[in-house]
A and B are shown apart, each in its own frame.
Chain A
Amino acid sequence: MKIVATKPQMLTDAHMHYCPGCTHGIVHRLIAEVLEELGKTDNAIGIMPVGCAVFGYNYFKCDMYQAAHGRAPSVASGVRRVVNSDNIIFSYQGDGDLASIGMAETVHACMRGENITVIFINNQIYGMTGGQMAPTTMPGEKATTCIYGRDPKVYGNPVHMSEMLATLTGPAYIERVACFDVPHVRQAKAAIKKAFQIQMEKKGLTFIEVLANCPTNYHMTPLESMNFVKTKGCEFYPLGVYKDITKEENK
């Protein structure tokens, strides 16, 4: 018998608590696969947020931090000063964590060009607390704190993080990816790998925004939620590379 596929060694055997159809599990796996491929499973350090991924430390075998809501980039910056420069550091944050309460920490870690990788899960909703409006909730999209759909005149406008952060000098690489089908999962993995590689070259902050779903709080089946991301999601949040200093360097 030949093993053709296996769970990445970096992931623990713990049963993930994510809802069926949620893409958190996929992204966890992609991070683990990439770190294994790069030979960085041993010395990686992960910073988990407050939100659905709050228990993420149960799933990765490397050293982990659980940070206060929105503060993961600051915790990562503190860790970065202390540990060796070849330790991979990643933060893993949702949209409420990263783009609302932690907006300042996110922007300033980018401004400083911290040599860390930020994995940003944008599912346009507060999942853990039960489906409230997020800073990324799209116009017209419903949430428990905007039950008739987000009206920007009432609730303000959503934020495009990748586009916004790309205007800063500090970040080295910014890409928005999605996980709604196999080609896009592969694309997401390539982006995460590139981000970690750039970190290994100590070129600055890398930021991967993963357009994700939340079937539970969208009140959709997993498939419907994937389709929602593929259509409405990608229309409002176009996928692509928003900043790449390696390209600029090659010019």
Chain B
Amino acid sequence: MKKLWKGNEAIAEAAVAAGCRYFFGYPITPQNEIPEYMSWRLFEVGGAFIQAESEVSAINMVYGAAGAGARAMTSSSSPGISLKQEGISYIAGADLPCVIVNMMRSGPGLGGIQPAQGDYFQATKGGGHGDYHCIVYAPSTVQEFVDITYRAFDVADEYRNPVMIIGDGMLGQMMESAEIPPMRDLSTLPNKDSWAACGHSDGKQRLINSIRFEADELEAFNDYLFKKYEKIAEKETRYEEYYNDDAEYIFVAYGSVARICKAAVMELRSEGIKAGLIRPITLYPYPSKIINDTAKKPYVKKFITVEMSKGQMVEDVRLAVNGAKPVEFYGRCGGNVMMPADLVKLVKEGK
């Protein structure tokens, strides 16, 4: 049944439905509704919640719980996600599945608490040290938060890889109608007996570890990770095309900004200007191919990347377009949100 859900609470309930039973967090605006919700909900379903002493501690609790085989999760907002990077790198290095939510706020530093998308580089290009990637999703509606969170735990388990879901303060705080999928039967979740270190009595040690002092051993692990990422790119890349069949002006935007672009597309089309949108749903793996294919279409005049930042994803758009068409950028920062009218004006003036 569809209900009115706040973005943050919808994520929390979707995680519970997906079989997440362990949440470790630390307060920071604008994601507080996630730990608040989990703090009572997980005990209802026989799980556990810890309000950790810091984000650093929380992500390491995730490391422990995920290492023991559980579906575990943490959430934070930009400054807190910076603190978690050490742990995320270790989780990647120990080949562990988990889900991390970042409700982005504006930065750098303590910044502000209003929505922003300044953590794109951090989320998609590593964030922590070493050669690794999180699988990064950028939902744009509360329902999509639900659907992606529900799936994120399966994807994390399938590839034994940390999954990061990024939203922003706007998406976390807003309410929309959404439907939570049915509760997963925990007995149907993937069996992790072969590697989970949960105190086995079978005489075979399970080791959760990211230390590899031998160069060849570590390089082999790096190779393994990147083979895994290739497979993920092949199977898990997601995007949405919006009025792209004949579009001359293509917006590229993700998350809440993509919705503002959609409104601009409608407005432009009502005035006879053929605009469209490519909305990456996975930011890593990045949907480069569809952007590249679109760039080759003769009627496409240019791409306009729109972000709540000074321009981060635009670099990936340029790489994908590879010089075939002009790539422009429009961004707002500091918690300011562009309006559809701003984008309509941009296209009309730049025509």
Using CB atoms and an 8 Å cutoff, list the residues of chain A in contact with chain B: 42-45, 47, 54-55, 57, 60-68, 71, 74-84, 87-88, 104-105, 107-108, 112
Contact = CB atoms under 8 A, between A and B. Distances in A.
A42 B201 contact: yes
B48 A63 contact: no
Contacts of B203: 42, 61
A78 B64 CA distance: 5
A65 B197 contact: yes
Residue picked from B60, B69, B198, B208, most chain A C-beta under 10 Å: B60
B172 to A, nearest CB: 24
B52 to A, nearest CB: 7
A24 B54 CA distance: 30
Contacts of B68: 45, 78-79, 82-83
B235 interface: no
Contact of B207 (A64, A74, A80): A64
A62 B62 contact: no
B90 interface: yes
Given A43-B201, A81-B22, A87-B199, A66 B210 contact: yes
17 contacts: A55-B211, A60-B205, A62-B199, A63-B197, A64-B197, A64-B208, A66-B211, A68-B63, A68-B87, A75-B63, A78-B62, A78-B64, A78-B68, A79-B65, A81-B50, A81-B70, A104-B54
B207 A75 contact: no
B277 to A, nearest CB: 40
Contact of A71 (B48, B67, B87): B87
B252 to A, nearest CB: 36
B48 A81 contact: yes
A63 B206 contact: yes
Contacts of B69: 82
Nearest to A89: B199
B56 interface: yes
Contacts of A81: 22, 47-48, 50, 61, 64-65, 70
Contacts of B52: 74, 108
A197 to B, nearest CB: 18
Interface of B: 22, 24, 47-48, 50, 52-54, 56-58, 60-70, 72, 86-87, 90, 94, 197-201, 203, 205-211
A23 B61 CA distance: 29
A77 B64 contact: yes
Contacts of A54: 211
Given A45-B198, A68-B86, 16 more contacts: A43-B201, A47-B64, A57-B205, A63-B205, A74-B52, A74-B58, A74-B61, A74-B64, A77-B50, A77-B57, A78-B62, A79-B65, A81-B47, A82-B198, A83-B199, A105-B53
Given A76-B64, A82-B65, A62 B57 contact: no
A84 B200 CA distance: 11
Contacts of A76: 64
A77 to B, nearest CB: 5
Nearest to A65: B208
A63 B65 contact: no
A78 B62 CA distance: 6
A49 to B, nearest CB: 11
A60 to B, nearest CB: 8
Nearest to A104: B53
A57 B209 contact: yes
Contacts of A42: 199-201, 203
Contacts of B70: 81-82
A108 B55 CA distance: 13
A61 B60 contact: no
Given A66-B208, A66-B211, A78 B199 contact: no
B56 to A, nearest CB: 7
B197 A68 contact: no
A11 to B, nearest CB: 12
A75 B205 contact: no
A40 to B, nearest CB: 9
Residue picked from B61, B64, B87, B209, most chain A C-beta under 10 Å: B64
Contacts of A44: 199
B39 to A, nearest CB: 13
Contact of A105 (B24, B47, B57, B197): B57
7 A-B pairs closest in CB distance: A78-B64, A78-B61, A74-B60, A63-B197, A87-B199, A71-B60, A75-B64
A158 B57 CA distance: 24
A33 B197 CA distance: 21
A78 B52 CA distance: 10
Nearest to B210: A66
A93 to B, nearest CB: 13
B205 A71 contact: no
A101 B63 CA distance: 18
A66 B58 CA distance: 16
Residue picked from A78, A84, A88, most chain B C-beta under 10 Å: A78
Contacts of A88: 199
Contact of A78 (B53, B54, B65, B211): B65
B102 to A, nearest CB: 20
A77 B90 contact: no
A97 B103 CA distance: 31
B218 to A, nearest CB: 14
B63 A45 contact: no
B122 to A, nearest CB: 18
